[in-house]
Copies of this chain bind each other. A is one copy, B any other.
Amino acid sequence: MRCLVINPVGTDVFDGDTRKILEAAKRPETEVEVVSLAADRPKHLEYHSYEALVVADIVRLTQDASTEYDAVVIACFYDVGLREAREVSGRAIVTAPCQAATDIAGHLGNTFSVLVTRRKCIPKMTENIRAYGQGHAMASMRPLGLGVHELQADHKATCDRLLSEGRKAVEEDGAEVLVLGCTAEYGFYETMQRELRVPVIDALLAPFKYAEHLVELRDRFEWAPSRKWGSEPPPVSASDGEDVTD
């Protein structure tokens, strides 16, 4: 299957690592392509107004991918544009980190905590998790106090922060599973699992593997995205980008 991974930021600094990580994680038959956005787009999505600047790109990329790809992964833990992209994905599966990771967590333990970059993230991510119906299972959301682009700057320092907050999430908040609340928190889950002895769900791997899973279901059983009621797609002409009026 062919999977398009969108790093919805105006920089390709994450693309290499993303590709490398997913190449190592993919099923043999999967082809991964990673794209990021034009350089005039925000370099991170720590602000909701930055999300606004990329959601049209996500939709257009998804729409273009819908005939060529089997799946699209939106690689941002805000699950930015998920509803919008799903509408135009045709038969392609669209996944995103928060929904996929919390779904997986629900099969591995009773409760989870999310380790997010900054307190900034908490209200919207909490709203998302509640909308997905997982608010009851969320033990806590703990901020690292690190920006997206600081996460990989000093690997050791970030790992220490993750271990420290993760340990508190488990011991004080009662989390049985940890979820990494940013796709740029990659490269840490294995160390964390070894140290903390609970599963640690990586925000990049979760939606990617969930997409492979759903594509397999679609290909075997025709469990493709519903196109009924709220999932109704726009008329075909819209995909030409010319006539979305009628």
Contact = CB atoms under 8 A, between A and B. Distances in A.
A50 B234 contact: yes
A99 interface: yes
Contact of A59 (B49, B131, B134): B49
Nearest to A136: B133
A123 B110 contact: yes
Given A53-B59, A104-B217, A107-B99, A229 B122 contact: yes
Interface in A83-133: 83-85, 87-88, 93, 95, 99, 103-104, 106-111, 119-124, 127, 130-133
Interface string A134-177: 11110000000000010000000000000000000010001111
A145 B1 CA distance: 39
A239 to B, nearest CB: 9
A67 interface: no
Given A55-B52, A245-B43, A199 B214 contact: no
Given A189-B221, A198-B228, A226-B176, A245 B149 contact: yes
B174 A246 contact: no
Interface string A50-70: 111101101100010000000
Contacts of A210: 107, 213
A38 interface: no
Interface of A: 10-11, 25, 27, 40-44, 46-53, 55-56, 58-59, 63, 81, 83-85, 87-88, 93, 95, 99, 103-104, 106-111, 119-124, 127, 130-137, 149, 170, 174-177, 189-190, 193, 197-202, 205, 209-210, 213-214, 216-217, 220-234, 238, 241, 244-246
The 6 closest A-B pairs by CB, nearest first: A133-B133, A43-B245, A123-B230, A109-B226, A110-B123, A42-B244
19 contacts: A27-B216, A42-B238, A44-B244, A47-B232, A47-B234, A52-B58, A83-B124, A108-B224, A109-B230, A110-B229, A110-B231, A122-B230, A176-B226, A190-B221, A199-B226, A200-B223, A205-B217, A209-B213, A209-B217
